[in-house]
Amino acid sequence: MNPMRGSRVVPPNTADRTGQPRQAANVIRDAGTGEHHMALDGDFDKSLSRRAMQAELLDAETELQLAFAWRDHRDEAALHRLVTAYMRLAISMAAKFKRYGAPMNDLIQEASLGLMKAADKFDPDRGVRFSTYAVWWIKASIQDHVMRNWSMVRTGSTSSQKSLFFNMRRVQARLEREAASEGRKLDGHQLRHLISTEVGVPLADVEMMEGRLSGSDFSLNATQSSDEEGREWIETLEDDAEQAAARVERNHDLETLRNWLVSAMGRLNERERFIVTERKLRDQPRTLESLGTELGLSKERVRQLEAAAFTKMRRTLETEAVEVQEFFA
């Protein structure tokens, strides 16, 4: 279903149901849910930034009144005013993530979504300022967006991996500065180990993240040279699977060995075949004692019958091949 179906755009600077002028960015109101969403266009970041800087600054008392109005009475005007007042905070936090290469419009959009989630879930009874609460939601929304779009390869999204993704370069630079000030030079292994300890993640995670952050995505279908006849990189990868010739040879040897064993066991009587099968051909071999109980024989007698059966089979197989001797080891 199209999420925009049944929606209408409420332009800015129009009066809401309380008669107060709307000062925020364009808002899309979903006719089915009544939820508000920011409408983004080409010059969204510039126009919204200007409006955000002109928005009112809320004191603690007004902030609480708006939060109570939304939570208790679902007052959309109060929600709209609360979100608008802190849009400058969302834009400011979005700007801090520009270095990850995401378009500023997208970052502001994600920050706006985080801000609206915070406004919707904020509990004024907890006694904290809304700005303090909103920071976590805004940051989490932006970070999730950056990690989803950083690479075609899905980057880990656990709390430890997220912390490593956003802090690894900063921690690495600080550790290198500290080592340089002490006249030391850290090699790659030492540096990765220190980062692992500092961030609190396994060393393997640091090594994996270092590889992902070291370069951009590279298609294995790209050619090795500009020549149209050049090989694709995927053709240079070594196949670790068993080669066809080796697989055919192994299957042939196993089938031959199986035929030899079937032939040798055909020379045994029924009781001897039963003992050999239970002792050697089961995933969990039975004990001499359990076989003796079932056959009504002593444990020693079962052992003698087993040895006699192996002797018969060995004589039959001695003329076949050396490989079958491993069966009796």
The residue behind tokens 């940051």 is 139
Q: What is the CATH number of domain 7-149?
A: 1.10.1740.10
Measured distance CA(162)–CA(142) in Å, rounded: 12
Among 92-101, 164-173, 182-191, 212-221, where is mean pLDDT lowest? 212-221
CB atoms within 10 A of CB 143: 19
pLDDT at 115 over 90: yes
State whether the Cα torsion 40-46-51-52 is positive or negative.
Answer: positive
CA angle 67, 71, 73 (to 5 degrees): 110
* pLDDT (0 to 100) of residue 216: 57
- φ and ψ at residue 147, rounded to 5 degrees: -70, -35
pLDDT at 327 over 60: no
pLDDT at 267 over 60: yes
* pLDDT (0 to 100) of residue 318: 75
Q: Could you read off the pLDDT of 65-114 as tens digits, one per residue?
A: 999 999 999 999 999 899 989 998 999 999 988 877 788 888 998 999 99
The residue behind tokens 């051909």 is 281
* pLDDT (0 to 100) of residue 157: 61
* pLDDT (0 to 100) of residue 281: 84
Distant-in-sequence, close-in-space partners of 255: CB < 8 Å, separation ≥ 6: none
Extract long-range pairs of 268-275: CB within 8 Å, 24+ residues apart.
268/309, 268/312, 268/313, 271/295, 271/305, 272/305, 272/308, 272/309, 272/312, 273/309, 275/302, 275/305, 275/306, 275/309
Among 32-46, 206-220, 312-326, where is mean pLDDT lowest? 32-46
* pLDDT (0 to 100) of residue 34: 41
For a pLDDT cut of 90, what percent of the chain falls above it? 11
pLDDT at 203 over 90: no
pLDDT at 55 over 70: yes
Confidence class of residue 166 from pLDDT cuts 50, 70 and 90?
confident
As a whole number, the mean pLDDT across the chain is 76
Quote the distance between the C-alpha of residue 234 and its chain's center.
Answer: 24
Which one of 22-31, 32-41, 206-215 scores highest in mean pLDDT?
A: 206-215
CB atoms within 10 A of CB 88: 17
pLDDT at 22 over 60: no
Maximum Cα–Cα distance for the chain, whole Å?
105
Q: Which residues pair with 10 in a beta bridge?
A: 27
* pLDDT (0 to 100) of residue 264: 84
Q: Could you read off the pLDDT of 222-254 as tens digits, one per residue?
A: 776 666 566 776 777 777 777 788 888 888 888
Q: Could you read off the pLDDT of 292-325 as tens digits, one per residue?
A: 988 899 989 999 999 998 888 888 877 665 555 5
Domain 248-328 sits in CATH 1.25.40.10: no
* pLDDT (0 to 100) of residue 9: 34
Measured distance CA(198)–CA(194) in Å, rounded: 6
pLDDT at 135 over 90: yes
Count of positions (residues) in the chain: 329
* pLDDT (0 to 100) of residue 16: 42
